[in-house]
Amino acid sequence: MTGAELAAVRKRAGLSQTELARQAGCGRHTVSYWECKPVVGLRAWAVERMATVLDLPDTPAVTRARAAWADMLAAADAAREAAFLVHVRRLQIQCETVRAKRRVICGARTRKGTPCRAKSEPGRRRCKFHGGKSTGARTPEGIERIREAQRQRWARWRLCRKEGDKT
């Protein structure tokens, strides 16, 4: 391939020397250098790079260069993707932090029958007076006690409902 042929291929592709250089990742002067040569060395680094943009004859070196270029673009994509995921994760952590610190209005029914207007404990739904401080049962005995209380509570509820059916 001659330099003139290389120039012809570039013009057919509708690219200026500057644009070809930009897309191939080499200098503009390198493009003009090879276009002035009587013979274009298809194994030259810059020519391999130009071959990734232009439709040059496929020598093994050109094929390799095309594959390497595609790999590089894929790697860049993967890096962008990874950076994006890191960004998303950071936002999630921010949301979790905000949620863990959020204080809402308690709203539990007070002895007056009105909703409690105190602020909840951070990250909880109820104020310190209405269970916001409670961790729930922790010891095995405590867990068993609350379980038994729940059993009795729902047994009473079922009994009431049955009797309600009869009347």
Pick from 20, 54, 118, 124: which binds Zn ion (CB under 5 A)? 118
Which residues fall within 8 angstroms of residue 62, CB to CB, at 6 or more apart? 42, 48, 51, 56
In the block, which residue shows the tokens 């007056």?
112
The answer to whether the beta carbons of residues 134 and 127 sit under 8 Å apart is no
In the block, which residue shows the tokens 């790999």?
71
* Least spacing, CB of residue 123 vs Zn ion, in Å: 15
Taking CB under 5 A as the binding criterion, the range among 11-19, 42-50, 54-62, 106-114 that sits at the site for Zn ion is 106-114
Interface characters, 127-166, with Zn ion (x: CB under 5 A): x--x------------------------------------
Taking CB under 5 A as the binding criterion, the range among 10-18, 50-58, 88-96, 126-134 that sits at the site for Zn ion is 126-134
* Least spacing, CB of residue 133 vs Zn ion, in Å: 11
Taking CB under 5 A as the binding criterion, the range among 1-9, 44-52, 97-105, 107-115 that sits at the site for Zn ion is 107-115
In the block, which residue shows the tokens 């390497």?
68
**Helices and strands, counts by H and E, the chain:** 6, 0
Taking CB under 5 A as the binding criterion, the range among 46-54, 92-100, 119-127, 142-150 that sits at the site for Zn ion is 119-127
* Residue 106 touches Zn ion, criterion: CB under 5 A: yes
* Least spacing, CB of residue 161 vs Zn ion, in Å: 30
Reduced to 3 states (helix: H, G, I; strand: E, B; else coil), residue 21 is: helix
Pick from 1, 44, 104, 116: which binds Zn ion (CB under 5 A)? 116
Report the distance separating Cα 26 and Cα 47, nearest Å.
9
Report the distance separating Cα 52 and Cα 68, nearest Å.
9
CA 146 to each of CA 47, 128, 140, 150, 158: distance values in angstroms, whole numbers, following the listed order: 78, 20, 10, 6, 18
Per CB under 5 A, residues contacting Zn ion are 106, 108, 116, 118, 127, 130
